[in-house]
Structure 1
Amino acid sequence: MRASLREKAIAVCDRKIAQKGDAVGLSFYAFFANKNNDPALLMEAATWWIETHQLDHFEKASKIKKMLQAQV
């Protein structure tokens, strides 16, 4: 996953955790506006989420944040 997407995803996780607590769940769609204006970037996130890590549709934001931070 490219660094810019990783940084954006971590920021989204931080925001969701701050708003709703540590147990809040999200999907990779949370990293995007409700528009498909960058299909390649969306597919990159989907590939990381579904193919690479075989995650469920919704996962805890804290888990995703830790996974993203571990991938330097």
Structure 2
Amino acid sequence: MSEALDQVVERAVNDAEFRSLLFKDLRKALEGYPVSDEERKLLENLDEENFDEFAGGLGSRTTKGIWPGTG
């Protein structure tokens, strides 16, 4: 996983507005993040239900928080 994708995931875990944007308008959410086409496709296939599982599977600092209503 690239540093850019790690930053996107970390931000989505910690910023509810960004997380919402990620699922509503991926293109806009990813502006300024140099993610690869493969990483973009990965994000396109995630939704709010499976995002937490994906982020938790990373085993990084991005998984320390729990979203309200998901725990």
Q: What TM-score results when the alignment is normalised by the length of structure 2?
A: 0.42
Instruction: Between the two structures, name the one with larger relative contact order (CA 8 Å, sep ≥ 6).
Output: 1
Q: What TM-score results when the alignment is normalised by the length of structure 1?
A: 0.42
